[in-house]
Chains A and B, each alone.
Chain A
Amino acid sequence: MIFKKNIQQLRLTDRELADGISNAGQSVDVVISESRSGAPTLQVNNTYIHSSYDPVKEAKEWLKNNEQYIHGADNIVVFGFGLGFHLNELCTSTQKQITVFEPNLHVLKAAFQSQDLEAVLSRIKIITDVSAPYFEDDTAVLTLQSSLKLTPEYFDQVLLKLKARDILASGLRIMVVGPVYGGSLEVAKYCSSSLINMGHTVELVDNSRFDDTLFYIREITSNKNHYDALVEKFTALLSEFILARCEEFQPDIVINLAQAPVTTDCIERIKHYGVKTAYWFVEDFRFMEYWKQVAGSVDHFFTIQKDDFFEEMKQSGLDNYHYLPMAAYPQVHRPVDLSEEEKKYYGSEISFVGAGYYNRKHFFNGFIDHDLKIWGTDWDMHSKLAGFIQRSGSRVDTDEIVRIYNASRININLHSSTYHKGVNPFGDFVNPRTFEIMSCGGFQLVDRRSGLDGLFEEGEEVVIFNDQNDLRQKIQHYREHPEEAKRISEKGRNRVLRDHTYEKRMQEMLEVIVADDYEPACWADNRELVQDLITEADAETEVGRYLSQFNEHEHIALSDIIEKISNEDGDLSRTESIFMMMNEFKG
């Protein structure tokens, strides 16, 4: 009875966890017994988690011992759930936000079975993995020592994450290095803008300004050896540019996007400054093999594929890889109001936006009996599809793509393949288009990819097709049930906004980076603690007040102040002028 009541209450706030606890079997290692005082107590692996005499009294003492920490904090984190005696005491003594970390579902099940947790569950959030919520203010970490001993690695990891969030909250200096051209160019821009939105100071090294030169190298020679040598030298030159920017900007972290023109030597030299390096390989490892050179040289290598790729990297002796799927940038990928003319121009019953890869050329022949529009380049204008290819296969820019996603009743998303005739049955990674269509609020039918598991709930947030026939049926179905399509699109969009934005990805990436023995770069010495500076200046003075604007940063240097001044319009204050004068003293 108690268990059911507890589970129902948890289901209101965390359905997934409620199901997890319900489905957890009984463990022989987790034993509830009666304490001397009559209250239940808990043993895990023959260790008492609570007192075998009086767990309630013990919980009161626990609270007393922790009161000073609770008092000074804005948020409270507790490691270990046990049977919840200490949580009960905690909830009655404070109204602050409480988060409890407990990885053992059997322990939670035991608590749910033996205790009425109504008061506790209405106040706390339970987390069972290492994902940590974001705390803006001071957080006190309290521990149930006996639980801590059961899974010390788990709590260490959570602690690291919490520390990482602390570091990130103060804002870092991050340099994002983009490619010369290609799909990751946009991704670099989205990453950079997201990091700015998150309060970091960002420098985007935009290498696309060199694309003409790179293309020109192709024209210069037909000799492949010569071409390769020229590209190598060109990449080495761009790497020097990146290094020069790095020395100027003095970042804490450098994030390279796929195809960024960085040599391993360049990465080594950046690391030499104590700067943490990351690489987001938003590529298919089966086609792009340059990961073999780059993955080992950076501190952290992020990928959009796991399983087979991870296995291969493991075989290569690497251990710095992390899965980081693609995402959407909702400020760009958003619902837009279209005029009637635009709806007509960009809209169709089904549409596809993307390049004419081998599988797509075959696959879409099966839909020429539909109101179909195909947008994008590299399509065969002499094929049967010619009449469906818009603007003779010319390039479509992002703004127009967003309009197409908004205007189409059904957006087809077929991942590319250079040798399948339709859906790649072994496709794993999820392309950006999947997230972007959803972020636009568009309705999407996407081909099955193993990577979709865990990202979206099939049938609720996304509809997946397995082959041409399946897609034809699904088109028919949603044509007849537009309200269903609308509901799925809305849910899909909400899921993207919640979990799959570039801001989320950047947060995940940065947490990984700073949780790994993070030490500031060599030039961090040039920066000073904002709080110390304000205290030194006296917060009530002109300069003290001025410096408090930088409160959201932990450290600042004169260059940060100058950057802020130059980015703002209007008259200079006296303080700003004095800082400008200071900046003019150059050796």
Chain B
Amino acid sequence: MSLKAEYMRQILIINLTRMGDLLQTTPLMAGIKSKYPGSRISLLVNSAFTEVCRGIPCIDDLIEFDMKGYLVRRMEGKHSLVENYRILEALVNSINNREYDLAVNVTHSSVSAVLVSLIRAKEVRGFTISSEGHRVIKHPWVRYFFNVIPNRNYNPFHIVDMYLKIGDVSPVTRGLVYDIFPDDEERADQILAREGIHNEVLVGLHLGASKDEKAWPVSSYAGLADMICKQLGVKIILFGTSSEALLASEFEKYAETRPVNLVGKTGVGDLASLLKKCSLFISNDTGPLHVATSAGTTVIDISLANVHFMETGPFGEGHYVLQSDLPCSPCGFDVQCNDRVCNSLITPDKVFEVVKAALDGAGDNIELSTEKMEQVQVYRSYFQEDGYLDYRPLIKRSLEVNVLYRLIYRQVLNTESGKIDSGTAGICERICKDIEELYLNESVRLCMEVISDDLDVLAHLVRLTEQALRHLRNLEQGVSRDIRDNKEIKNIWKKIEPLEDEINLIGDTHHCFKPLTLLFDYSREALEGDDLEILVKESIEIYEGLLIKGENMQAIMTGMKSVLNVQTENSKLAMTS
């Protein structure tokens, strides 16, 4: 149960991740400030990324912890157990200087999970541990976040929006938030002046990525840079950290054009300011990509390997993403790919097409030929009516079933606990209109056939849920009696267990419903305590949640089916007449 707005005074956000992730929590912080005016936000960060916090508004207290330093210290073995203990104890004490009304852990590491369990907070959301040390995921949207890892192909939400939902706040920004200060601007001007740049159109490139497989080849970047310079007459700036200096040297070997090499020469503030001056920023999935979007610069994201841009791509209106159209893209987190085809399919000339359109301000009206962009899809980001981000494919290709489910899940999950009754037809018409616009019609029909078959399975899942709910309601009566009949209670539990197993089995055998069953499973895992009455009550809520989601999904799927049937009939009629 969440606290009322007026009681949300002290809020702690734990974000021990990297720069990009920090920036991606900025809309959450803005949302909190807007929903709970007068609240104070304390942010716990890894001190390696303290610098970026300077430009993040909404932080009232910054608590730093040197994660790497502590790890090195532990590994060196030079300090006693007690010394190392005291450091963590001091961290816990400094966080617990005040009591929090809400603590949100957006870090998904085990360290943070244990840490959260030690914090004085009335409400905790995120990955933590129970009083007995078992894993607990608190809050439905954090559970949803964890479900995304195995079910990423069905996920319609960007991580920023998931954070908003975890915070139970509405989107108030239409992008990431980062303040650029006058001194940052000054330094940026000085850097550019030093490089002899005054009024040229600038395009920024970032060559590296946190992992090799996520990085587009330097030779490709070089080829692209040459095309941009020669054909568009703009100036290229290379950005990057000092550890990426070798990539910059490599780039200079491949490229004919001479870029402005700022690799390793910028702090976060200068970087933001310099990126703001760029007309376009081309990058892999990196922290600077998010700095660029927060500075309002259009981004082209080259999304490779296991990067799922739907979750972590450029956040904001009008950014572009290129991804290979291979059935394995993006690969799973646990994949070790030995044949990076996705990398070679995205060629400099394909990216150049997007660069031209982006610099022209073509928006969605970019003209990309299917042949030219063979096996590569280009997406453009936009905010849907629900206020959350989405990416629209710009080349009309076949609809995949998982994409259709993604659209359905978006509706189902947005509805949260309410039942879609009125307006189902409108929703279905809108989804159908969108997919017919964006995808080849024949593929839409094929997808709908698959969905029709899946509807029977879904109906079974709904029935199982209803049965389990009936048993649970009997159980609720049984446990509320003054004198409990333990035998009867056990008997009812015994009836529920096989139903649970069957529900989970549906998720395993029909992967399209795995998000439903996994969320259900995580919710059950999060049940705590040993008060039977409370456990039964909470179990009923979990089953009701599953039932509502299942029924809403049925309603949408059935509605879409009839909309598309009518359309097919109409088109047949039109043809015959």
Interface residues of chain B, those whose CB is within 8 Å of chain A, are 67, 70-71, 74-75, 77, 80-86, 88-89, 92, 109-111, 113-115, 117-118, 129, 131-133
Cβ contact within 8 Å between B74 and A585: yes
CA distance A60 to B109 in the complex (A): 70
Q: Are A536 and B132 in contact (CB under 8 A)?
A: no
Q: Name the residue among A526, A565, A578, A581 with the largest chain B CB count within 10 angstroms.
A: A581
Q: Which of B82, B111, B118 contacts A537 (CB 8 A)?
A: B82
Contact A585 B131 (CB under 8 A): no
Closest to B74 in A: A585
Least CB distance, A34 to chain B, in whole angstroms? 62
Cβ–Cβ contact B115 & A581, under 8 A: yes
Flag A556-587 by CB within 8 Å of B: 1 or 0 each: 11100100011001111010011111101111
- Complex Cα spacing A261 to B115, Å: 43
Least CB separation from B111: chain A residue: A584
Q: Mark A530-544, 1 if CB is under 8 A from B, else 0.
A: 001100110000010
Q: Contacts A543-B89, A577-B114, A577-B117: A582 and B84 contacting too (C-beta < 8 A)?
A: yes
**Contact call B132/A572, Cβ cutoff below 8 A:** yes
**B132 near A571 (CB under 8 angstroms)?**
yes
Flag if B88 contacts A525 (CB, 8 Å).
no
In the complex, A587→B89 CA distance in Å? 21
Q: How far is the CA of A17 from the CA of B114 in the complex (A)?
A: 62
A528 in the interface, Cβ–Cβ < 8 Å? yes
B528, chain A: closest CB distance, angstroms: 12
A4-60, CB < 8 A from B: none
> Complex Cα distance A566/B86, Å?
22
Q: Which A residues are CB-close (under 8 A) to B115?
A: 581
Known: A578-B118, A585-B70. A571 touches B131 (CB 8 A): yes
Given contacts A536-B80, A547-B82, 20 further A-B contacts (CB under 8 A): A528-B80, A528-B81, A536-B83, A537-B85, A543-B85, A557-B81, A570-B132, A572-B133, A577-B114, A578-B89, A581-B115, A581-B118, A582-B74, A582-B85, A582-B88, A584-B110, A585-B70, A585-B71, A585-B74, A587-B74
Per the bound structure, the CA–CA distance linking A569 and B71 in Å amounts to 29
15 A-B interface contacts by CB (under 8 A)? A533-B81, A537-B85, A572-B129, A577-B118, A577-B129, A578-B88, A578-B89, A580-B129, A581-B115, A582-B88, A584-B110, A584-B111, A585-B67, A585-B70, A587-B74
Q: How far is the CA of A186 from the CA of B84 in the complex (A)?
A: 42
Asked if residues A533 and B75 are in contact (CB atoms below 8 Å), the reply is no
Q: What is the count of residue pairs linking A and B with beta-carbon distances less than 8 angstroms?
A: 71
Assuming the contacts A569-B132, A581-B88, A585-B70, asked whether A574 and B118 have C-beta atoms less than 8 A apart, the reply is yes
Docked Cα-Cα span, A526 to B75, in Å, equals: 10
Q: In chain B, what residue has the closest Cβ to A566?
A: B133
Bound Cα distance A558, B81 (Å)? 7
Chain A residues in 8 Å Cβ range of B83 = 536
Q: Are A572 and B131 in contact (CB under 8 A)?
A: yes
**Chain B residue contacts of A536, Cβ below 8 A:** 80, 82-83
Return chain B residues, CB-CB under 8 Å to A547: 82
- Enumerate chain A residues within 8 angstroms of B114, measured Cβ to Cβ: 577, 580-581, 584
A residues near B84, Cβ cutoff 8 Å: 582
Please determine whether A578 and B82 come into contact, CB atoms closer than 8 angstroms: no
Q: Which residues of A contact B77 (CB under 8 A)?
A: 525-526
Closest to A556 in B: B81
Q: How far is the CA of A525 from the CA of B71 in the complex (A)?
A: 18
Chain B residue at minimal CB-CB distance from A535? B82
User: Are B75 and A579 in contact, CB atoms less than 8 angstroms apart?
Assistant: no
Residue contact A565 to B133, C-beta cutoff 8 Å: yes
CA distance A263 to B67 in the complex (A): 42
Q: Hey, what's the 0/1 contact readout for A83-106 against B, CB within 8 Å counting as 1? A: 000000000000000000000000
Q: Which residues of A contact B70 (CB under 8 A)?
A: 585
Give Cα distance in the complex from A526 to B86, angstroms.
18
CA A536 to CA B79, docked complex, whole Å:
12
Chain B nearest CB: distance from A444 CB in Å? 49
Interfacial chain B residues near A543, Cβ < 8 Å: 82, 85-86, 89
Q: Which 8 residue pairs spanning A and B have beta carbons closest together?
A: A581-B114, A584-B110, A571-B131, A584-B111, A536-B82, A537-B82, A585-B71, A580-B114
Contact B85 A578 (CB under 8 A): yes
Contacts of B74 in A (CB 8 A): 582, 585, 587
Residue ID in chain B nearest A587 by CB atoms: B75
How far does the Cβ of B90 sit from chain A's closest Cβ, in whole Å?
A: 10
Chain A proximity of B145: nearest CB distance (Å)? 20
Report which of B80, B92, B109 forms a contact with A584, defined as CB distance below 8 A. Answer: B109
Q: B residues within 8 A CB of A566?
A: 133
Q: Report how far A577 CA is from B117 CA in the complex, Å.
A: 8
Cα separation A578 to B82 with both chains bound (whole Å): 11
Report how far A526 CA is from B92 CA in the complex, Å: 25
Query: CB within 8 Å of B: which of A230-284?
Result: none
Q: Which residues of A contact B109 (CB under 8 A)?
A: 584
Q: Known contacts being A543-B89, A574-B118, is A587 close to B71, with CB within 8 Å?
A: yes
A-chain residues with CB within 8 Å of residue B67 when the two chains form the complex = 585
A579 to chain B: closest CB distance in Å? 7
> Which A residues touch B82, using CB under 8 A?
533, 536-537, 543, 547
A113, B81: Cα distance in complex, Å: 60
Residues of the B chain whose Cβ atoms lie less than 8 Å from the Cβ of A526: 77
User: In the complex the two chains form, what is the Cα distance from A581 to B117 in whole Å?
Assistant: 10
CA distance in complex: A91, B106 (Å):
71
Distance A577 CA – B114 CA, assembled complex (angstroms): 6
Compute how far the CA of A584 lies from the CA of B86 in the bound complex, rounded to whole angstroms.
16
A558 to B71, CA, bound (A): 14
Known contacts: A528-B80, A587-B75. The answer to whether A580 contacts B133 by CB under 8 A is yes
Contacts of A569 in B (CB 8 A): 132
CA distance A395 to B88 in the complex (A): 56
**Distance in Å: Cβ of B159 to nearest Cβ of chain A:** 23
A547 to B85, CA, bound (A): 12
Chain A residue with minimal CB distance to B110? A584
B120 smallest CB distance to A (angstroms):
11
> B81, B82, B132 — which one has the most chain A CB atoms within 10 A of its CB?
B81
> How far is the CB of A42 from the nearest CB of chain B, in Å?
53
| Docked-complex contact B111 and A585, CB < 8 angstroms | yes
B17 to chain A, nearest CB (A): 15
Contacts of A572 in B (CB 8 A): 117, 129, 131-133
By a CB distance below 8 angstroms, the chain A residues around B75 are 587
| B113: A residues at CB distance < 8 A | 584
Q: Is the CB of B85 within 8 A of A579?
A: yes
- In the bound assembly, the distance between CA atoms of A561 and B118 in angstroms comes to 18
Per the bound structure, the CA–CA distance linking A463 and B242 in Å amounts to: 85
CA distance A566 to B77 in the complex (A): 23
Bound form: Cα–Cα A580–B112 in Å? 11
Give every chain A residue within 8 A of B129 (Cβ-Cβ): 572, 577, 580
Set of chain B residues within 8 Å of A533, measured between Cβ atoms: 80-82
For B82, B109, B110, B129, which residue has the most chain A Cβ atoms within 10 angstroms? B82
In Å, the complex CA distance between A587 and B70 comes to 11
**Residues of B with C-beta under 8 A to A556:** 81
Shortest B291–chain A CB gap in Å is 28
User: In the docked arrangement, what's the CA distance between A572 and B88, Å?
Assistant: 16
A531 to chain B, nearest CB (A): 12
* B-contact bits for A107-133, CB 8 A (1 contact / 0 none): 000000000000000000000000000
What chain B residues lie within 8 Å of A586 (beta carbons)? 71
A557 / chain B contacts, CB cutoff of 8 Å: 81
